[in-house]
A and B are shown apart, each in its own frame.
Chain A
Amino acid sequence: MSAVVDEHDHDHHADDHHDHGPAKGLLRWIITTNHKDIGTLYLLFALTMFFVGGSMAMVIRAELFEPGLQFVDPAFFNSMTTMHALVMVFGAVMPAFVGLANWQIPLMIGATDMALPRMNNMSFWMLVAGVLLLASTLFMEGGAPNGGWTLYPPLVLQPITVGKALPFAIFSVHLLGISSIMGAINIIATIFNMRAPAMKLMDMPLFVWTWLITAFLLIAVMPVFAGAVTMLLTDKFFHTSFFNAAGGGDPVLYEHIFWFFGHPEVYIMILPTFGVASTIIPVFARKPLFGYASMVWATASIAFLSFIVWAHHMFTVGMPIAGELYFMYATMIIAVPTGVKVFNWTATMWKGAMTFETPMLFSISFVVLFTLGGFTGLMMSIAPSDFQYHDTYFIVAHFHYTLVPASIFILMAAGYFWLPKWTGHMYNEKIGQLHFWLSVISVNILFFPQHFLGLAGMPRRIPDYAVQFADWNMISSIGGFIFGASQLLFLYIVIDTIRGGTGEKVSDEVWEDAAKHGLEWTLPSPTPYHTWTTPPTIVPTEHVLDSH
Chain B
Amino acid sequence: MSTNSTYYIPHKATWPVIGTVGLMTMLAGFANYLNGSSIGQPLMIVGLSIFIAMLVGWFTLQAKESESGMYNHEVGISYRHGMMWFIFSEIVFFAVFFGTLWYTRNLSVPWLGEGATKELLWPAFDAVWPTNGPGKVGGEFEPMGAWGLPFINTLLLLTSGVTCTWAHHGLLAKNRDQLIKGLLATVALGFLFVCFQAIEYHEAYSEMGLTLGSGVYGSTFFMLTGFHGFHVCVGAIILSVVLFRSTKGHFSPENHFAFEAAAWYWHFVDVVWLGLFIFVYLM
Cβ of B143 within 8 Å of any chain A Cβ, yes or no, is no
Instruction: Tell whether, in the assembled complex, residue A3 and residue B5 are in contact, meaning their CB atoms are under 8 Å apart.
Output: yes
- Cα-based distance from A2 to B82 in the complex (angstroms): 20
With A2-B5, A175-B23, A247-B132 as known contacts, state yes or no: A121 contacts B16, CB within 8 Å. Answer: yes
- Please, which residues of chain A bring their CB within 8 A of the CB of B99? 257
Cβ of B78 within 8 Å of any chain A Cβ, yes or no, is yes
- Please, which residues of chain A bring their CB within 8 A of the CB of B17? 30-31, 121-122, 125
Instruction: Tell whether, in the assembled complex, residue A181 and residue B9 are in contact, meaning their CB atoms are under 8 Å apart.
Output: no
Instruction: Tell whether, in the assembled complex, residue B216 and residue A122 are in contact, meaning their CB atoms are under 8 Å apart.
Output: no
Instruction: Tell whether, in the assembled complex, residue A246 and residue B24 are in contact, meaning their CB atoms are under 8 Å apart.
Output: no
Partner of A240, one of B107, B108, B111, B213: B213
Partner of A121, one of B13, B95, B107, B216: B13
- Please, which residues of chain B bring their CB within 8 A of the CB of A227? 93, 96-97
Cβ of B218 within 8 Å of any chain A Cβ, yes or no, is yes
- Please, which residues of chain B bring their CB within 8 A of the CB of A128? 20
Interface string of A95-137 (1 = CB under 8 A from B): 0000000000000000011011111011001101100110010
Instruction: Tell whether, in the assembled complex, residue A249 and residue B133 are in contact, meaning their CB atoms are under 8 Å apart.
Output: yes
Q: Considering only CB atoms, which chain A residue lies closest to B90 in the complex?
A: A223
Cβ of B74 within 8 Å of any chain A Cβ, yes or no, is yes
Q: Considering only CB atoms, which chain A residue lies closest to B79 in the complex?
A: A116
Cβ of B66 within 8 Å of any chain A Cβ, yes or no, is no
- Please, which residues of chain B bring their CB within 8 A of the CB of A25? none
Cβ of A10 within 8 Å of any chain B Cβ, yes or no, is yes
Main secondary structure of the interface of B (DSSP, over half): helix
- Cα-based distance from A318 to B242 in the complex (angstroms): 52
Cβ of B81 within 8 Å of any chain A Cβ, yes or no, is yes
Interface residues of A in 13-67 (CB under 8 A from B): 16-17, 23, 30-34
Instruction: Tell whether, in the assembled complex, residue B82 and residue A185 are in contact, meaning their CB atoms are under 8 Å apart.
Output: yes
Instruction: State the Cβ distance, A489 to closest chain B Cβ, in Å.
Output: 34
Partner of B13, one of A17, A31, A174, A231: A31
- Cα-based distance from A184 to B86 in the complex (angstroms): 10
- Cα-based distance from A185 to B12 in the complex (angstroms): 20
Cβ of A220 within 8 Å of any chain B Cβ, yes or no, is yes
Interface residue tally on A, bucketed by range: 35 or more
- Cα-based distance from A231 to B220 in the complex (angstroms): 10
Selected interface stretch from A163-171, A342-350, A360-368, A456-464: A163-171
Cβ of B27 within 8 Å of any chain A Cβ, yes or no, is yes
Selected interface stretch from B28-36, B154-162, B173-181, B266-274: B28-36
Instruction: State the Cβ distance, B99 to closest chain A Cβ, in Å.
Output: 7
- Cα-based distance from A299 to B7 in the complex (angstroms): 31
With A112-B7, A237-B34, A246-B133 as known contacts, state yes or no: A219 contacts B89, CB within 8 Å. Answer: yes
Most buried by B among A34, A188, A244, A248: A248
- Please, which residues of chain A bring their CB within 8 A of the CB of B14? 31
Instruction: Tell whether, in the assembled complex, residue B96 and residue A185 are in contact, meaning their CB atoms are under 8 Å apart.
Output: no
Instruction: Tell whether, in the assembled complex, residue A7 and residue B104 are in contact, meaning their CB atoms are under 8 Å apart.
Output: no
Instruction: State the Cβ distance, B15 to closest chain A Cβ, in Å.
Output: 7
- Please, which residues of chain A bring their CB within 8 A of the CB of B10? 7, 33, 117-118
Partner of A253, one of B12, B20, B21, B103: B103
- Cα-based distance from A167 to B35 in the complex (angstroms): 8
Instruction: Tell whether, in the assembled complex, residue B93 and residue A115 are in contact, meaning their CB atoms are under 8 Å apart.
Output: no
With A125-B20, A175-B24 as known contacts, state yes or no: A248 contacts B104, CB within 8 Å. Answer: yes
- Please, which residues of chain A bring their CB within 8 A of the CB of B27? 133, 171, 174-175
With A231-B223, A244-B133 as known contacts, state yes or no: A249 contacts B85, CB within 8 Å. Answer: no
Q: Considering only CB atoms, which chain B residue lies closest to A192 in the complex?
A: B81
- Cα-based distance from A389 to B216 in the complex (angstroms): 34
Interface residues of B in 92-151 (CB under 8 A from A): 92-93, 95-97, 99-100, 103-104, 107-109, 111-112, 131-135, 137-138
Interface residues of A in 219-243 (CB under 8 A from B): 219-224, 226-228, 231, 233-234, 237-242
Instruction: Tell whether, in the assembled complex, residue A247 and residue B215 are in contact, meaning their CB atoms are under 8 Å apart.
Output: yes
Cβ of B60 within 8 Å of any chain A Cβ, yes or no, is no
Interface string of B189-217 (1 = CB under 8 A from A): 00000000000000000000001110111
Q: Which 6 A-B pairs have CB atoms at the shortest separation, nearest pair first?
A: A246-B135, A248-B133, A227-B96, A239-B213, A122-B16, A250-B108
**Sampled A-B contacts (10; CB under 8 Å):** A9-B6, A23-B12, A113-B9, A122-B13, A219-B89, A220-B88, A224-B93, A224-B95, A227-B93, A241-B216
Additional pairs, 18, CB under 8 Å, beyond known A113-B9, A168-B28, A240-B218: A4-B6, A23-B11, A23-B12, A34-B11, A115-B82, A118-B10, A125-B20, A133-B24, A170-B31, A171-B27, A239-B137, A240-B212, A241-B138, A246-B133, A247-B133, A248-B108, A248-B112, A250-B108
